[in-house]
Amino acid sequence: MLGELGMRGDGGGCGGLVNAPCPFSGVLAHLSALETESVRLVELQREAWRQQATREELCATVERLRAQRDQLRAKVLSATSLQQVMTEVDQENEEKRSEEEKSAGDSQLHMSLLTARLSHVKNLLRAHHLIGGYDITETRRGKGVCFSIATAFEDRTLETYNVEMDLARTMRICRHNIPPFIPLERLAQENFQSDIMAFLDSLSMHLNAYVGRRQQVRLIQELFHGSVKVLESNALCSILVLRCRQVGEKKAAALCTLEYGDPTRCLPTRVTIDSEEKTLTDSPQWNEIQALFLETPAHQALLAIRREERIA
């Protein structure tokens, strides 16, 4: 009865009174139900306050952190400029002081420190060269500048190409040793009046893709001496026709044609395989091989196929 009243709330209270055998017990029940209800409400209220407080606290933390971050940002900014100023001021001071301190012992120490620093800087410069940086050389007494572009395929370092630019009024290419089939003029027009770095990047992409394709042809000739024959290729190495012999009684010959439609990549965009045995060319194995050629350099794909003993 009590629970029922409590559940029904105020409206249900009247019904309880009418039906009750003793008039007082109904009133008491109603009162106690009201009491439970009010306790519940108070608790809810408290809970809501608590949540509100946590939320406010979190909000305050966010604000505090944000302020701290802004302060730090400003500090970092000022520290950078401060550093520059301090370096300048210090240098002036040092120069004044240096008039007074001169001794033979010092100069010996200076010499060795200088040599150490010099060799460190030299090492860093060499490292830039080794990781394929565009080496810059000033030419014609500062009137021109020459950029070197290193190329490599996998672990092999290959040719270095050079582009020399004239720095007079409008920048233009005056000398280079880029192969004629690389669209140098187009790349230059597209990029370099606005952004020399973008020009060098795209030129480097083209050159590296080209030497990569050429190196694959060389590697196939080296690794598959006699068994896989390169029937056709062109200067840009954008097409490659290979003939290999399948393993089996008939030793049927298969012709793989790799077309490199994207000059900035060293993987083909289209692969077709023809075989004397027509039944083989539609088999799932051949589809697998086709997929392999599309995502692996040709010599690696051929090595994998030979490992599986599909070609001789």
- Within 158-217, the residues that bind another protein by CB under 8 A are 158, 196-197, 200-201, 204-205, 208
Q: Is 144 in the site for another protein (CB under 8 A)?
A: no
Q: Is 61 in the site for another protein (CB under 8 A)?
A: yes
Compute how many residues bind another protein; rule: CB under 8 A.
75
CB of 38 to another protein, least distance (A): 28
Q: Which residue, 90 or 276, has its beta carbon nearer to another protein?
A: 90
Q: Site for another protein (CB under 8 A): which residue of 122, 172, 186, 251?
A: 122
Q: Is 269 in the site for another protein (CB under 8 A)?
A: no
* Local structure of residue 148 (DSSP, 8 states): E
The two three-digit tokens of residue 295, written as one number: 């995502």
Q: Which residue, 31 or 197, has its beta carbon nearer to another protein?
A: 197
The answer to whether 217 and 233 have CB atoms below 8 angstroms apart is yes
Q: Is 222 in the site for another protein (CB under 8 A)?
A: no
Q: Is 75 in the site for another protein (CB under 8 A)?
A: yes
Q: Which residue, 68 or 189, has its beta carbon nearer to another protein?
A: 68
The three-class DSSP label of residue 42 is: helix
Q: Site for another protein (CB under 8 A): which residue of 50, 120, 172, 270?
A: 120
Q: Site for another protein (CB under 8 A): which residue of 68, 193, 234, 287?
A: 68
Q: Is the dihedral of CA 208, 211, 213, 218 positive or negative?
A: negative
Considering only residues 9 through 48, tell me which ones interact with another protein, judged by CB under 8 A.
Answer: none
CA 224 to CA 201: how far, in whole Å? 34
Q: Site for another protein (CB under 8 A): which residue of 2, 27, 135, 139?
A: 135
CB of 187 to another protein, least distance (A): 16
Q: Is 292 in the site for another protein (CB under 8 A)?
A: no
Q: Is 270 in the site for another protein (CB under 8 A)?
A: no
The three-class DSSP label of residue 187 is: helix
Q: Is 134 in the site for another protein (CB under 8 A)?
A: yes
Q: Which residue, 92 or 185, has its beta carbon nearer to another protein?
A: 92
Q: Is the dihedral of CA 12, 15, 20, 24 positive or negative?
A: positive
Considering only residues 83 through 112, tell me which ones interact with another protein, judged by CB under 8 A.
Answer: 83, 86-87, 90-91, 94-95, 97-99, 101-102, 104, 107, 109-111
Measured CA to CA in angstroms, residue 71 lies from 9, 60, 78 at distances of 56, 16, 11
The residues, any chain, with a CB within 8 Å of residue 290's CB and separated by 6 or more, are 271, 272, 273
CA 136 to CA 129: how far, in whole Å? 10
The two three-digit tokens of residue 49, written as one number: 């306050």
Q: Which stretch binds another protein (CB under 8 A): 72-80, 182-190, 234-242, 283-291?
A: 72-80
Measured CA to CA in angstroms, residue 107 lies from 92, 111, 112, 116 at distances of 20, 6, 9, 14
The answer to whether 165 and 188 have CB atoms below 8 angstroms apart is no
Q: Is 252 in the site for another protein (CB under 8 A)?
A: no
CB of 56 to another protein, least distance (A): 10
Measured CA to CA in angstroms, residue 222 lies from 158, 215, 218, 230 at distances of 16, 10, 6, 11
Q: Is 136 in the site for another protein (CB under 8 A)?
A: yes
The answer to whether 163 and 178 have CB atoms below 8 angstroms apart is yes
The answer to whether 248 and 312 have CB atoms below 8 angstroms apart is no
Q: Which residue, 39 or 124, has its beta carbon nearer to another protein?
A: 124
Using alpha carbons only, how large is the chain's radius of gyration in Å? Answer: 40
